[in-house]
Amino acid sequence: MVPRYTRPAMAAIWAPENRYRIWFEIEALACEAMAQYGGVPAEAARVVREKGDAAMAAFSQADLDRIDEIEAETRHDVIAFLTWLAEKIGPESRFVHLGMTSSDVLDTCLSVQLVQATDMLLADLDAVLEALKRRAFEHKYTLTIGRSHAIHAEPTSFGLKLAGHYAEFARNRERLVRARAEIATCAISGAVGTYAHVDPRVETFVAEKLGLEPEGVSTQVIPRDRHAAYFCTLAVIASGIERLAVEVRHLQRSEVREAEEFFHPGQKGSSAMPHKRNPVLSENLTGLARLVRAHVIPALENVALWHERDISHSSVERNICPDGTIGLDFALARLAGMMDKLVVYPDRMLANLESLGGVVHSGEVLLALARAGILREDAYRIVQRNAMATWTRLGEPDGRTFRENLDADPEVAGRVPAEVLDAAMNSDAHLGALDHSFTRVFGEAGPARG
């Protein structure tokens, strides 16, 4: 991922320094397990740990350069690292990597890195959830128009809209927790996964120390269905980000103007048009979501490796693992900040709600006519006729509101009391179930309406 969309903490997880520290930890733990179960002298395991820890603590650019120099000759990254490590440890290095294969180190390391990245993404999701909850309660009773097909439908609460997004991100958090559990696996099983040269107890020991679970059957590599499911989860989260971003983009449109991204002092919207206040953050989030979702197909295609293993997945994962987690980390952090500072215009929401002369209450009026004894088919015809008469003459001198047209309709006048129509056209009626919805989503209804 380019630096523009990279946060340092997430980038550090994928830096060579972190990767090599994890590689050493896997090798040192395996040595210690072999010393415990036989095969490696305890003193040798102690030397590997002490000298290796010292080398990793002093790890510098010179060490990176040395490993790269060795790899340029060996054309094998794990062998290059092991050779460098042997230079640091000395004769006891002959007990490092006994019975193991490169994938034992690579796949187990990748699991550790993905767990580290996931813990950061979970914290990011918590920040999004916190911002959405606060704003949802803030605008629990803020009336706005609900839209279907982008057309005015019926009144709703802006807080309820945000509660819906909160519920989606809460589900996404649960999905990510499950994905973390599925990806947190360890394989120390040797060539083609038979444990022919390494005791299975070594794998169990290393897995426990790293907070992982041993892979059931590793076939030398951890099966890539786990990774495919993980990236599908990231893609679903990205889609949730985009859904909220698109909502903000629509609400910020000039003709809607119900909410907008915070516009910082000194910020510029256009090099040519000084008046512009563009939804650049939400547009950026839409683009980042596309990138995260784009990793799903390569991850799925990584599942079908040849026989026990090949490395066709390797070049893919060297790209999608850092890029996917770094991109999503940045997007979630940006979304949390955007929603925390989102500027909301309740008066504009109310004006838009009332801008169609009251036709948005047609559904409740239909029910009122049906309850008054009018057949539903007839009631629908009456209500639609008056709604269309209002809609088609909006803004014209002789145009009338929906209520005025209903009052003048002989099929309504005298059959439906005025107070019934008043109640049917009261937007507050659409807020009656908010406590129910908020309690179901947040576990609490929040303070009563002021």
Exposed, middle or buried, 60 (CB in 10 Å: 0-12/13-18/19+)? exposed
What is the amino acid identity at position 349? M
Residue 111 carries which side chain, given as an amino acid letter? S
- Band the pLDDT of 341: cuts 50, 70, 90: very high
For the chain, residues classed under CATH 1.10.40.30 are 357-442
The bridge status of strand 185-186 relative to strand 259-260 is unpaired
Only one residue has tokens 């002298």, namely 41
Asked if the model's pLDDT at residue 450 lies above 90, the reply is no
Give the HSE-up count for residue 370: Cα atoms under 13 Å, Cβ half-sphere.
10
For strand 343-344 and strand 259-260, is the pairing parallel, antiparallel, or unpaired? antiparallel
The neighbouring-strand residues paired with 260 are 343
Architecture of domain 1-98: Orthogonal Bundle (1.10)
Mapped onto helix, strand or coil, the DSSP state of residue 149 is: coil
Name the band, by pLDDT with cuts 50, 70 and 90, for residue 449. Answer: confident
Distance CA 327, CA 371 (A): 54
- Which part of the chain has CATH 1.10.275.10? 1-98
Average pLDDT score over residue span 205-215:
98
**CA geometry: angle at 438 spanning 448 and 119, to 5°?**
125
β-partners of residue 156 are: 144
pLDDT tens digits for 165-190? Answer: 999 999 999 999 999 999 999 999 99
Instruction: Compute the chain's Rg from CA coordinates.
Output: 31
The pLDDT confidence band at residue 99, using thresholds 50, 70 and 90, is very high
Tell me the pLDDT band of 361, cut-offs 50, 70 and 90.
very high
**Mean pLDDT across 195-210:** 97
Q: What is the pLDDT of residue 13?
A: 98
Give the model's pLDDT for residue 130: 98
413, 125 Cβ separation under 8 angstroms: no
Give the separation between CA 366 and CA 345, rounded to whole angstroms. Answer: 30
The span from the CA of 416 to the CA of 392, in Å, is 24
Residue 38 has pLDDT above 90, yes or no: no
Give percent above pLDDT 70 in the chain. 100
- Kindly state the tokens that stand for 438: 């908020």
Average pLDDT over residues 203-216: 97
Torsion sign across C-alpha atoms 438, 136, 287, 322: negative
Residues that are catalytic: 149, 270
Q: Which of 392, 349, 137 is nearest to 252 (CA)?
A: 349
With a pLDDT cut of 90, the percent of the chain lying above it is 94
Which residue intervals of the chain bear CATH 1.20.200.10? 101-350
Asked if 291 and 327 count as a contact pair (C-beta separation under 8 A), the reply is: yes
pLDDT of residue 447: 84
Residues 35 and 24: their CA atoms lie apart, in Å, by: 16
Pick the CATH number of 101-350 from 1.10.3720.10, 3.40.50.720, 3.40.720.10, 1.20.200.10: 1.20.200.10
CATH topology for 357-442?
Ribonucleotide Reductase Protein R1; domain 1 (1.10.40)
